Amino acid sequence: MEILLENVATYAVVFIVVVVVLALYIKKLKRNTKETKAKIEESIQFGLHEPVSLHPVVDHDLCFGCGSCVAACPEQDVLGLMNGQAHIIHASRCVGHGACFRACPVDAITLCIGTEKRGVELPHVTPEYESNIPGLYIAGELGGMGLIKNAVEQGKMAVNFLSNKISSSSSKAEYDVLIVGAGPAGIAASLTAEKRNMKYLTLEQDSLGGTVFNFPRAKIVMTAPMDLPLHGKVKLRETSKSALINLWRKVLAQHNITIHESEKVESIVRVKDYFFEVKTNKGIYTSKGIILAIGRRGTPRKLNIPGEQKEKVSYRLIEPELISNQSILIVGGGDSAIESALLLMKDNSITISYRSEGFSRLKPKNLELIQQAEKDRKVKILFNSNVKEILDDKVVLIVSGVENNVTIKNDLVYIFAGGLLPTDFLQKIGIQVTKKHGEAIMKPEN
* Per-residue DSSP letter, 205: S
pLDDT at 215: 62
Residue 398 confidence (pLDDT) above 90:
yes
* For range 150-163, the mean pLDDT: 92
pLDDT tens digits, residue range 403-435? 889 999 999 999 998 777 787 888 899 998 887
CB 145 within 8 A of CB 154: yes
Query: Tell me, what's the pLDDT at 364?
Result: 76
Strand partners, 327: 349
Query: What is the average pLDDT across 351-358?
Result: 94
pLDDT at 263: 94
What domains does the chain contain, in order, with CATH numbers? 2-113 (3.30.70.20), 125-299+422-430 (3.50.50.60), 302-417 (3.50.50.60)
Note the pLDDT of residue 237. Answer: 63
Asked whether residue 86 carries a pLDDT value surpassing 70, the answer given is yes
More confident residue, 141 or 197: 197
Say what the pTM is.
0.69
- Could you report the per-residue pLDDT of 6-30, keeping only the tens digit for each? 666 777 777 787 777 777 778 877 8
Q: Which amino acid is at 43?
A: S
- The confidence score (pLDDT) of residue 8 equals 66
Q: Which has the higher per-residue pLDDT, 198 or 235?
A: 198
In DSSP terms, which residues pair with 314 in a beta bridge?
414
Mean of pLDDT values over 134-157: 84
Query: How many whole angstroms separate alpha carbon 382 and alpha carbon 359?
Result: 11
pLDDT at site 258: 92
pLDDT (0 to 100) of residue 380: 97
Most confident of the following: 18-32, 112-126, 138-152, 165-179: 165-179
Q: How far apart are CA 170 and CA 150, in angstroms?
A: 32
Cα gap 100→56, rounded to integer Å: 8
Q: How many CB atoms lie within 10 A of CB 249?
A: 15
Q: Is 268 helix (H, G, I), strand (E, B) or coil?
A: strand
Residue 63: predicted pLDDT? 94
Residue 2: predicted pLDDT: 61
Strands (E), 273-393: 275-280, 284-292, 299-300, 313-314, 327-331, 349-353, 379-382, 385-390
Virtual torsion, Cα 274, 264, 203, 135, nearest 10 deg: -20
pLDDT at 43: 75
pLDDT of res. 439: 76
DSSP state of 130: B
Distance CA 71, CA 83 (A): 17
Both ends of the chain: CA-CA distance in Å?
55
Check residue 1 and give its pLDDT.
Answer: 60
Residues in the chain: 446
Q: Higher model confidence: residue 142 or residue 189?
A: 189
DSSP 131: B
d(CA 108, CA 95): 19
Q: Which stretch of 45-59, 256-270, 315-329 has the lowest confidence by average pLDDT?
A: 45-59
Reported as a single tens digit per residue, the pLDDT across 178-233 is 999 998 899 999 999 999 999 999 999 888 877 676 665 555 555 567 788 888 88
Using only the alpha carbons of the chain, give its radius of gyration. Answer: 26
Lowest mean per-residue pLDDT among 208-212, 247-251, 306-310, 379-383: 208-212
Averaged confidence pLDDT in the chain: 86
Q: Which residues pair with 123 in a beta bridge?
A: 433
Residue 397: the pLDDT is: 97
Query: What is the predicted pLDDT for the residue at 59?
Result: 94
% pLDDT > 90, the chain: 46
Assess whether pLDDT exceeds 90 at residue 321. no
Q: Is residue 308 predicted with pLDDT exceeding 60?
A: yes
pLDDT of residue 371: 95
Q: So what's the pLDDT on residue 393?
A: 96
